[in-house]
Amino acid sequence: MNNYGTYIVKKAGDAIFSIFLISVAVFLLVHLMPGDPVRAMLGYEADEAAVQAARETLHLNDPLIKQYFIWAGNFLKGDFGQSLVLKTDIFQTIATRIPVSLSITLPAFVISTVIGIVVGTISATHRGSFADQSLTVFVTAFGGVPDFWIGIMLMFIFSVKLGILPAMGYVSPWEDMGGYLKHAALPVLVLTITSFAWIGRQMRTCMLDVLNQDYIRTARANGLPASLVHYKHGMRNTLIPVVTLLVLQVRSLVGGSLLIKQVFSIAGMGRLIYTSVASNDYLTIQALTMIIAVFVIACNLLLDLSYGFMDPRIRARGKRS
């Protein structure tokens, strides 16, 4: 097996081990919560027979290790059980929420990435100029605005004052594209504003690091035009940190969208997280945390594998430097 093959196997093994460890932590979540988890989920006034029946269904009377294997086996089959609070199948609930979340977070991710990279690059290549100062102030200011508040303010301006966009609700793009665009405009705008500021800030730092390198100075000294130095030699070498920060951004978007769904009353994953936490629905929290963690670990694995494509040194060594 060549070095890159060894690298892939090692990284995949690491990812599987991480998923195992996180599954243990998530499984223990229910057991470590203060008080009786079944009573917390059913309510403290629930009758004893219902509590005992729930304990049997959840195998809570079995030894801990047996409980883990039953839970992990069910998870692998996509069977997350019934929510004791919502009285619905958890898998079905999550399956209906994911497309809603993706229809808001994906457009926001694409738009914020493009704007963030352009803004960060201009800011770094025109360092100290009025454009850089303005962009830095803009990026810093928007980086400090909580997404829930900017959501409420945009709702205030576009829905209450101007009355041009609906304040709340959601329409699926498959049912009515026009309705979707109207309802999704504000949440996508909020996520874009808060994300692009962060991407722009990181891009500026990465680009400045690269532009301070000796080979860039040498390229300039050899008389290469600034645009060629910046956009060919400079940008190409920011690829690894930029891809890294984009994967981190995916992680933030999964969690960050929680607030937006709450403010705009959109029944996506974020709202499900909120209602599960508010109602002590531990089984749904377990399933959601596990799905998100597996998703993030898979993204990290793809990121590690992409390092090998982007940096020949990593391919040659068979491990990440």
Partner 1 sequence: MEKRPKKSNHLSPAVRTFFNRGAIVYFAVGVAALFLLCALCAGWLTPYDPNKNVIAEAVQGPSMKHIFGTDEFGRDVLTRLIYGSRISLASSLMACGFAAISGMLLGLLSGYYEGAVGRVILRYVDLQLSIPPLLFTIIIGMFLGKGLTGLIIALGFGLIPSFVRLMHSQVLAIKNSDFITALRLGNIGDWQIIFNHLLPNTLAPMITMFAMNLGTTVMLESTISFLGIGIQQPTASWGNMVADGEKFLFTSPLLCILPGVCVVLLTVAFNIIGDSLADALDPRLRGKL
- If one asks whether residue 321 binds partner 1 (CB under 8 A), the answer comes out as no
- Helices 177-211 and 147-155: angle between axes, nearest 10 degrees: 140
Return the structure tokens found at 200: 């722009």
Q: How far is the CB of 177 from partner 1 (least distance, A)?
A: 29
- If one asks whether residue 300 binds partner 1 (CB under 8 A), the answer comes out as yes
Distance CA 321, CA 313 (A): 8
Residue in 11, 30, 185, 203 with CA at minimum distance from that of residue 103: 185
Residue whose CB is less far from partner 1, 145 or 181: 145
Q: How far is the CB of 140 from partner 1 (least distance, A)?
A: 5
Q: Figure out which of the listed residues 277, 306, 311, 320 binds partner 1, where binding follows CB under 8 A.
A: 277
- Whether the CB-CB separation of 104 and 269 falls below 8 Å is answered with no
List of residues 6+ apart from 23 with CB closer than 8 A: 72, 75, 290
- If one asks whether residue 292 binds partner 1 (CB under 8 A), the answer comes out as yes
Stretch that binds partner 1, among 32-40, 45-53, 72-80, 171-179 (CB under 8 A): 32-40
- If one asks whether residue 155 binds partner 1 (CB under 8 A), the answer comes out as yes
Stretch that binds partner 1, among 61-69, 90-98, 214-222, 291-299 (CB under 8 A): 291-299
Return the structure tokens found at 165: 């966009």
- If one asks whether residue 127 binds partner 1 (CB under 8 A), the answer comes out as yes
Report how far apart the first and last C-alpha atoms of the chain are (Å, whole number).
20
Return the structure tokens found at 26: 């998530």
Stretch that binds partner 1, among 80-88, 229-237, 276-284, 312-320 (CB under 8 A): 276-284
Stretch that binds partner 1, among 104-112, 170-178, 281-289, 305-313 (CB under 8 A): 281-289
Collapsed DSSP state (helix, strand, coil) of residue 279: coil
Q: Figure out which of the listed residues 61, 178, 278, 321 binds partner 1, where binding follows CB under 8 A.
A: 278
Number of Cβ within 10 Å of residue 25's Cβ equals 12
Residue in 152, 111, 125, 142 with CA at minimum distance from that of residue 263: 152
Q: How far is the CB of 2 from partner 1 (least distance, A)?
A: 26
- CA dihedral 75→77→83→86, nearest 10 degrees, is 130
Residue pointed to by tokens 């991710």: 109
Q: Which CA distances in Å does 269 have to 84, 89, 196, 245, 254?
A: 18, 15, 22, 23, 8
- If one asks whether residue 215 binds partner 1 (CB under 8 A), the answer comes out as no
Residue whose CB is less far from partner 1, 78 or 144: 144
Positions in 181-210 near partner 1 (CB under 8 A): 208
Residue whose CB is less far from partner 1, 131 or 145: 145
Enumerate the β-bridge partners of residue 82: 89
Positions in 56-115 near partner 1 (CB under 8 A): none
Which residues in this chain contact partner 1 in the complex, by CB under 8 A? 18, 21-22, 25, 29, 32-34, 127-128, 133, 137, 140-141, 143-149, 152-153, 155-156, 160, 208, 212, 251-252, 254-256, 258-259, 262, 273-274, 277-278, 280, 285, 288-289, 292-293, 296-297, 300
